[in-house]
C-alpha cells in the first residue's frame, strides 16, 4: 500500500467562493466540469428532446469526498456518465486530472475507479478471480498486482473468503468486493453511484469505514451519490444539490443546513379548527409559515422556546393543537426547502429515452 500523502498547500478560493478543502492550485483540481449539457433526442421524429443536464459546473478538489445529491430524474447518473466517459455531452467540457474526457477518454479511464449501483461481479467466479480479471483489463498481470490484490482483500475483510464463489457472498461482502475491484488498478479518484443502496445499517457503516480509510491513507478523492442523506451529512466535505438538471446549491453540509435558517415546528391542527397562521406569525422568532393539509410548518430561530407560546396562543383562540414536533436543520430539510419535496420522493423521470450510463439508465430515461 502507498504511504499517506502529504498535506497539500493552503487553498485559494474556487470560482463559487468556497475555499477548497484539500487544495488550492490548479493541480489540486481533480474534477473540473464546465457548463455541461445533455439533451436526449426525442423518441419520435418531430418530438421534443429531454434536457437531462442543464449547464452543470463544479470543481472537486484532491482528497475530498464530494457528494452529488438529487432525486431520480435530476441529472445525477447522466453527469456521472459524462465524467466517466460513458456518455458524450451535448455541450460543455469536463476534465479529470487535467485530461479532457472527450478528447482522451482512455487516459481518463486509467485514472478513475467506478462502483456502479448494481453489482457487476461475476457470481460464478471467486472474489480473487474477479479482481484479477479487472486487473487484466488494465494490462496488469497477476505477478504485478498479486500483492496489491491480497492487501485489498485483507482491507475489505475478504481475505478468508477470497477463493469462494461470489454467489455465496452476502450483500455487504459483495459491495466490499465491488470496492476492491474498483481500486485494483490504484486509482486516485473513485466514483460511487449509490454504493450502499440496499445494505443494512451495519453493512453501510462498514463500507464507509473502508472509504474513509482509503481517503485518509492514500489521499483518495471520492465523488459519490447516495439516497441516504445521513451518509452525505457525515461523510462529505462538500455537497452539490441537483434538481431538474441544474445545480441549485453547493457547499459544506454545515453551510447548506445553515442556509435553511433555524428550526422548524410542525404543528398538527385538529380537523375543523380555524387556521392559526395569523395568530402565530407575529410571535417573536417566527420567520415563515406554510400550511400542508392539517399541518403547519413554522420556521423559527429557537424551536423549543417557541412551543409553549404557540400552544398557549392557539388554545386561547380555541384552536386545538394535536401535536408539535421540533425539527433541527438537516439535509432533508435543506432538500425540502430547495425543491419543495422530500428527498426520498422519487422525481418523475422523463419517458422514452434509451438507457445509458453507469446506473439504471440516464436521468433523462426511465430508471
Tens of pLDDT, residues 342-363: 665 443 333 333 333 333 344 4
What is the model's pLDDT at position 236? 94
Same domain, 221 and 276: no
Give the CATH number of the domain where residue 149 resides: 3.40.50.300
Which of 208, 232, 257 is the endpoint of a domain? 257
Place of cell 475491484: 181
What is the model's pLDDT at position 133? 92
- Say if residues 152 and 162 touch (Cβ distance below 8 Å): no
Same domain, 294 and 320: yes
The whole-angstrom separation of Cα 238 and Cα 67 is 6
Degrees to nearest 5, angle at CA 344 with 341 and 348: 70
The whole-angstrom separation of Cα 207 and Cα 200 is 11
The whole-angstrom separation of Cα 44 and Cα 354 is 12
Strand-by-strand arrangement of the 91-96 sheet: 50-61, 29-40, 91-96, 99-100
What total number of domains does the chain contain? Answer: 2
Same domain, 252 and 277: no
**Residue 348 included in any domain:** no
**Residue 126 included in any domain:** yes
CA 134 → CA 117, 129, 144, 170, 210, distances in Å?
18, 9, 13, 21, 20
Q: 3-state SS string over the chain?
A: CCCCCCCCCCCCECCCCCECCCCCCHHHEEEEEEEEEEEECCCCCCCCCEEEEEEEEEEEECCCEEEEECCCCCCHHHHHHHHCCCCCCCEEEEEECCEECCCCHHHHHHHEEEECCCCCCCCCCEHHHHHHHHHHHCCCCHHHHHHHHHHHHHHCCCHHHCCCEHHHCCHHHHHHHHHHHHCCCCCCEEEEECCCCCCCHHHHHHHHHHHHHHHHHHCCEEEEECCCHHHHHHHCCEEEEEECCEEEEEECHHHHHHHHCCEEEEEEECCCCCCCHHHHCCCCCEEEEEEECCEEEEEECCHHHHHHHHHHHHHHCCCCEEEEEEECCCHHHHHHHHHCCCCCCCCCCCCCCCCCCCCCCCCCCCC
Same domain, 82 and 184: yes
Cell, residue 341? 419535496
Same domain, 297 and 246: no
The whole-angstrom separation of Cα 255 and Cα 221 is 21
Phi-psi region of 198 (alpha: psi -120 to 50; beta: other; left: phi over 0): left
**Residue 345 included in any domain:** no
- Say if residues 310 and 282 touch (Cβ distance below 8 Å): no
Same domain, 117 and 184: yes
**Which residues in the chain come in under a pLDDT of 70?**
1-27, 342-367
**Residue 81 included in any domain:** yes
Structure confidence by residue, pLDDT tens digits, 108-144: 999 999 988 788 889 999 999 999 999 999 888 878 8
Degrees to nearest 5, angle at CA 327 with 322 and 330: 155
**Residue 88 included in any domain:** yes
Tally the residues of the chain. Answer: 367
CB-hemisphere CA count at 13 Å for 185? 20
Same domain, 183 and 274: no
**Residue 17 included in any domain:** no
What is the model's pLDDT at position 343? 67
Which of 257, 282, 302 is the endpoint of a domain? 257
Same domain, 168 and 199: yes
What is the model's pLDDT at position 78? 93
Same domain, 188 and 316: no
What is the reported pTM? 0.73
Give the CATH number of the domain where residue 314 resides: 3.30.70.100
What is the model's pLDDT at position 4? 36
> What's the CA dihedral at 211, 346, 59, 112 to 10 degrees?
50
Q: Which domain holds residue 299?
A: 262-328
Same domain, 150 and 130: yes
What is the model's pLDDT at position 199? 77
Place of cell 406554510: 290
What sign does the dihedral 15-20-24-27 (CA atoms) show?
negative
Same domain, 306 and 239: no
Which of 328, 344, 360 is the endpoint of a domain? 328
**Residue 189 included in any domain:** yes
**Residue 364 included in any domain:** no
Same domain, 289 and 164: no
Amino acid at each position: 500500500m502507498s504511504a499517506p500523502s502529504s498535506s497539500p498547500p493552503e487553498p485559494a478560493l474556487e470560482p463559487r467562493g468556497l475555499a477548497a478543502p484539500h487544495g488550492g492550485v490548479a493541480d489540486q483540481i481533480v474534477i473540473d466540469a464546465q457548463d455541461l449539457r445533455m439533451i436526449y433526442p426525442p423518441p419520435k421524429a418531430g418530438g421534443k428532446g429531454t434536457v437531462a443536464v442543464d449547464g452543470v459546473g463544479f470543481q472537486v478538489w484532491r482528497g475530498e469526498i464530494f457528494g452529488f445529491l438529487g432525486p431520480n430524474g435530476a441529472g445525477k447518473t447522466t453527469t456521472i456518465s459524462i465524467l466517466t466517459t460513458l456518455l458524450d455531452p451535448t455541450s460543455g467540457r469536463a476534465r479529470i486530472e487535467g485530461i479532457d474526457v472527450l478528447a482522451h477518454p482512455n487516459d481518463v479511464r486509467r485514472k478513475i475507479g467506478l462502483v456502479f449501483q448494481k453489482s457487476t461481479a461475476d457470481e460464478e467466479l471467486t472474489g480473487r478471480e474477479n479482481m484479477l480479471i479487472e486487473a487484466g483489463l488494465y494490462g496488469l498481470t497477476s505477478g504485478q498486482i498479486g500483492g496489491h490484490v491480497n492487501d485489498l482483500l485483507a482491507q475489505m475483510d475478504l481475505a478468508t473468503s477470497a477463493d469462494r464463489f461470489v454467489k455465496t457472498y452476502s450483500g455487504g461482502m459483495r459491495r466490499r468486493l465491488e470496492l476492491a475491484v474498483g481500486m485494483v488498478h490504484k486509482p486516485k479518484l473513485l466514483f460511487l453511484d449509490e454504493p450502499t443502496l440496499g445494505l443494512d445499517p451495519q453493512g453501510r457503516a462498514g463500507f464507509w469505514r473502508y472509504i474513509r480509510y482509503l481517503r485518509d491513507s492514500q489521499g483518495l478523492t471520492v465523488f459519490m451519490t447516495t439516497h441516504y442523506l445521513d451518509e452525505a451529512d457525515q461523510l462529505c466535505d462538500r455537497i452539490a444539490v441537483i434538481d431538474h438538471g441544474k445545480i441549485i446549491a453547493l457547499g459544506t453540509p454545515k453551510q447548506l443546513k445553515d442556509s435553511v435558517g433555524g428550526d422548524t415546528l410542525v404543528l398538527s391542527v385538529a380537523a375543523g379548527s380555524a387556521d392559526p397562521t395569523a395568530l402565530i406569525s407575529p410571535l417573536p422568532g417566527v420567520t415563515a409559515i406554510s400550511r400542508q393539509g392539517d399541518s403547519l410548518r413554522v420556521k423559527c430561530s429557537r424551536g423549543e422556546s417557541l412551543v409553549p407560546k404557540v400552544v398557549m396562543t392557539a388554545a386561547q383562540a380555541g384552536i386545538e393543537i394535536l401535536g408539535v414536533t421540533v425539527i433541527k436543520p438537516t439535509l432533508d430539510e435543506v432538500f425540502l426547502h430547495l425543491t419543495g419535496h422530500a428527498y426520498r420522493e422519487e422525481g418523475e423521470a422523463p419517458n422514452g429515452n434509451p438507457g445509458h450510463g453507469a446506473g439504471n439508465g440516464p436521468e433523462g430515461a426511465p430508471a
